[in-house]
Structure 1
Amino acid sequence: MSRETEASPYAPENPAARFAPDLSIGAESTTPYEDYVHASVLTHLQQPLSDDPGEMVFLVTTQVMELWFTVLVHEWHTAAQSLREDDLPGALAALKRSTYELESLNASWKPLAHLTPGEFNSYRAALGEGSGFQSAMYRRLEFLLGEKSASMLVPHRGAPRELAELEKAITEPSLYDEVLCYLARRGHAVPAAVLDREPTARYEPDEAVERIWQDIYAAQGDTAGSGDLVRLGEALTEVAELVWRWRNDHLLATRRAMGAKTGTGGSAGVAWLEKRAAKNVFPELWTARSHV
């Protein structure tokens, strides 16, 4: 081999080689991307039941929402676990991530937010008895926010896996339950009735908890350690605000598409959504501000 053709570690790199495809990938099996993301599963889940092109938008948008519900449940479980371990930075990081994810979830309403009644009616019959009210993952999300009710298990009686997951979730402490236990370990006088309450019941506001948040915010900058608890309060408030925006966007999109008619699956439709939108998540964080 001549010196001119001999390979040298000092020979200049061919820039094009860096961008040349690896022709062995996908030759005999799926690509590593497909193996990891399962894109072909996701992109073949849509099975429209009408000829209306808007139904595909509805299906994909709804499926994207379900994926965001899954991510949020994961984040809030992570935050709750971190609080149980007195790892406040870990909890704050998970809550912060969840605010970005909530913003993305809320943006999912954009393709559906301006449907006219005629546009929605063109494929509404395809939903049959289906309703977002029946989403098991959204129900788990609500349970984590303290919105619990055994009646919410009823629609899932025919789905053993989802029912088992929900039966487990309703008996576990909510994210806010873990917050209040953490505050108690930090020396705040959370009432025993709050700490030991029945975990399957919906969380109800408590005046003593309101005073704790009032004291935390009032002491901001004056008491050692108050700053990190204010950061926790603000992280939870941000989550609560974005959940409120989600509920209101849902209400407005539904009101615009179908008015006050009965919802799909026989749900109360707008009337039920109005009640949900009127409720505050982590209620004492909002009422305490009036007293600081």
Structure 2
Amino acid sequence: MSQCPYNPAREGAQMSFQDRMSYVDYLQLDTILSAQTPLSDSHDEMLFIIQHQTSELWMRLALHEMEACRQALSQDRLRPAFKMLSRIARIFEQLNSAWDVLRTMTPSDYQSFRPSLGQSSGFQSAQYRLIEYAVGNRNLAMLGPHAHRPDLMAALEAELAKPSLYDEALRALARMGLPVPQDILTRDLRSPWVEDPRIEAVWCEVYRNPDRWWEAYELAEKLVDFEDYFRRWRFNHVTTVERVIGFRRGTGGTEGVSYLRRMLEVELFPELWRMRSTL
């Protein structure tokens, strides 16, 4: 016995969008899906473009969450901040998974379109630079690749004028009554964070008395969780680059793998890691 094909309209599904906003309209998919323009005939260039474009979209969301998280911390709304930090960690877990797809590209695949990249490189990602500045890794030398774009420089300079995520966390600790030194609270925000044993002592106090300092304790673990995923993302980046190009110099002129390995040594919240050895 034959059956009529299923028709969602019979159950009330909207099927006509002549004068209505559709899914494609809302997400501006015509713009997004027409933004892939390979410059070579290589099959694998599409993978390279989409992997990096989607990573930039996830970083866009990470920045959105970081800004809201800092605002929440500055207003002592710790629970919303915890949720945002958890989401940021999950975003970097998603970014990590993207390397698995890119690693299906062999050295031969990459060399088939690498000349088309010119000197463009992920090293020049303004959003990644904003993330680094937002979490406290404020290396002013890294403004250089963006100097040709006044709009990007303005965004980066605006970020450097704000307290970093770690600065806001430490300010929140001080308002809780923990002994964060005043010179830390009033430090030059443009300067990169420098590990301080006094801050390690503050975190030690939190971990030795978690019942007394429970919100600070949870904040610490959320920060560590984020940095854990961030470190994994950096490590997978190094591994992927070495697998695809070995130790060749990067398209942007960096030393490639050697440069990325040095970035693995950068700690965002060093006292939270050092404290674990001294508790």
Which aligned pairs between 1:140-219 and structure 2 lie closer than 5 A? 140-219=130-209
Give 1:196 deviation, angstroms: 1.4
Q: Is the 8 A contact 1:114 1:256 kept in 2?
A: no
Partner residue in 1 for 2:249 = 262
Partner residue in 2 for 1:67 = 57
Partner residue in 2 for 1:6 = none
Q: Is the 8 A contact 2:44 2:105 kept in 1?
A: no
Letter aligned with residue 258 of structure 1:
I
Gaps of 5+ in 2: 1-6
Give 1:180 deviation, angstroms: 0.5
Deviation beyond 6 Å, 4+ runs, structure 1:
none
Gaps of 5+ in 1: 1-13
Partner residue in 2 for 1:7 = none
Task: For residue 108 of structure 1, give the secondary structure of its aligned residue in structure 2.
Answer: helix
Letter aligned with residue 71 of structure 1:
L
Task: For residue 113 of structure 2, give the secondary structure of its aligned residue in structure 1.
Answer: helix
Q: Is the 8 A contact 1:115 1:253 kept in 2?
A: no
Q: Is the 8 A contact 1:76 1:95 kept in 2?
A: yes
**TM-score of the pair, normalised by structure 2:** 0.93
CA deviation string 1:15-47 (max 9, x = no partner): 962255432x1x257x43233211111100000
Distance 1:17 1:115, change over 3 A: closer
Name which one, 1 or 2, has greater alpha-carbon Rg: 1
Between 244-253 and 32-41, report the one with greater CA deviation.
Answer: 32-41
2:229 to 239, 242, 245: 242
Give 1:197 deviation, angstroms: 1.4
1:93 to 65, 70, 83: 83
Please say if 1:18 is aligned against 2:11.
Answer: yes
Distance 1:261 1:28, change over 3 A: same
Give 1:115 deviation, angstroms: 3.2
Distance 1:172 1:20, change over 3 A: closer
Kindly, what percent of the aligned residue pairs are identical? 36
Aligned alpha-carbon RMSD (Å): 1.6
**TM-score of the pair, normalised by structure 1:** 0.89
- Paired residues, number: 273
1 CA distance for matches of 2:58 and 2:13? 35
